[in-house]
Amino acid sequence: MKFRVEQGVVLGLVLVIVAAVALLVSWSSTEDNIVRELEQEPQVSVYMHETGQIRDMPMEEYIAAVVAGEMFPDWPVEAYAAQAIFARSFTMDFIAAGGVKDKYGADVSTNIEETQAFNAEAVTDDIRKAVEMTRGQVMVFDNRYVRAWFHAYSGGITAQAKEGLDYQEEEPPFTASVELPENEYVPDDVANWEAIYEAQELQQLLADAGIDVGEISDVKILERGPTERITKIQIDGSAKSEVVSGPQFRLAVDSTRMKSTLVDQFEFSNGQLRISGTGYGHGVGLSQWDAYKMAKEGMSPEEIVKSFFADGVEIRKIYD
């Protein structure tokens, strides 16, 4: 379990950044992201962030490296396969929106702040098998690519985008809040976590994120969403008071410490903020640890994917 806990920190960082990237390109019903069948597997131009080079590779080779970058090295094939469908859907939608052509002249980047994690060296036989078994498969709603949000662990219930991500546009029609059973596979520090901030540290973290209220006198929850995730927080300081969204606050105070906005304790007293809760990530879309459990229980990749979204989401094969 120690290995998984350490890996969870790394994965959490990836998920946070991917969530931020996902917000930049919103789902829409424009012509750009209409799903079309392709005559052959597409080639993807990949900007290699580490070297500055651009490499062309087959889509499935790219997807395998993404799955290896986004998931643990010892998970069930069906969980990898579900992640592959997500990665492929994200990639096709991202490219349809222009990718990183304006910045690098490429479709995607290996910089996790811009697209998805990428680790070709970590691709295993099981990951190759998972990618091959879902070859060409993407998520579709109303004949358009689904925005493939995912996170590490739901805490027992997933959220829709406006609650979990502070999504500023109309709620996409494919999102859903899904209740999930107790998950015995989740690491202890993900199922139940605690974060403690001294007032001076909290002030600095918030100021670094552009939320400068001066010396902090109080922090309190103003609003929770339908799944009880924090959606609004008020911060009182010597300079001013400011209201921020729950997701914004979490990112500001280090989302590897405040692992989610699904909290049961949030108390500022004696110059210290104490938070405890469950879950890891924004809570929208696929929950990876719940996908792990579903795979262990024999569900297919397609069943796993559909479990986290609204009716009407389909899995479509767009090339052989």
Output the pLDDT for position 66.
Answer: 96
Say if CB 246 and CB 267 are below 8 A apart.
no
Q: 255 lies in which domain range? A: 193-277
Q: Are residues 235 and 152 in the same domain?
A: no
Q: Are residues 92 and 229 in the same domain?
A: no
Q: Are residues 163 and 312 in the same domain?
A: yes
Among residues 153, 147, 187, which one has the least CA distance to residue 169? 147
Residue 55, pLDDT above cutoff 60: yes
Determine the Cα–Cα distance for residues 260 and 263; give it in Å rounded to an integer: 7
Q: Are residues 168 and 208 in the same domain?
A: no
Q: Are residues 204 and 131 in the same domain?
A: no
Residue located via tokens 């007293």: 269
Say if CB 94 and CB 108 are below 8 A apart.
yes
Secondary structure class of 6 (helix, strand, coil): helix
Q: What is the mean pLDDT of residues 218-247?
A: 98
Q: How many domains does the chain have?
A: 2
Q: What is the mean pLDDT of residues 30-54?
A: 91
More confident residue, 23 or 68: 68
More confident residue, 3 or 238: 238
Q: What is the mean pLDDT of residues 98-117?
A: 93
Output the pLDDT for position 72.
Answer: 86
Say if CB 199 and CB 215 are below 8 A apart.
yes
Q: Are residues 299 and 260 in the same domain?
A: no
Output the pLDDT for position 7.
Answer: 43
Q: Are residues 204 and 74 in the same domain?
A: no
Residue 5, pLDDT above cutoff 80: no
Q: Are residues 83 and 147 in the same domain?
A: yes
Output the pLDDT for position 30.
Answer: 58
Secondary structure class of 1 (helix, strand, coil): coil
Flag the least confident range among 112-116, 157-161, 176-180, 254-258.
112-116
Secondary structure class of 277 (helix, strand, coil): strand
Q: Are residues 119 and 212 in the same domain?
A: no
Distances (CA, A) of 157 to 160, 179, 180, 183: 10, 4, 6, 11
The per-residue pLDDT for range 87-103, each reduced to its tens digit, is 999 999 999 999 999 99
Q: Are residues 112 and 211 in the same domain?
A: no
Among residues 110, 87, 107, which one has the least CA distance to residue 99? 107
Q: What is the mean pLDDT of residues 278-290?
A: 96
Q: Are residues 273 and 288 in the same domain?
A: no
127, part of any domain = yes
Determine the Cα–Cα distance for residues 172 and 270; give it in Å rounded to an integer: 42
Output the pLDDT for position 218.
Answer: 98
145, part of any domain = yes
Say if CB 174 and CB 161 are below 8 A apart.
no
Q: Are residues 37 and 126 in the same domain?
A: yes
Residue 148, pLDDT above cutoff 70: yes
188, part of any domain = no
Output the pLDDT for position 185.
Answer: 97
Beta-sheet strand order (sheet of 263-269): 193-198, 272-277, 263-269
Output the pLDDT for position 28.
Answer: 54
More confident residue, 56 or 13: 56
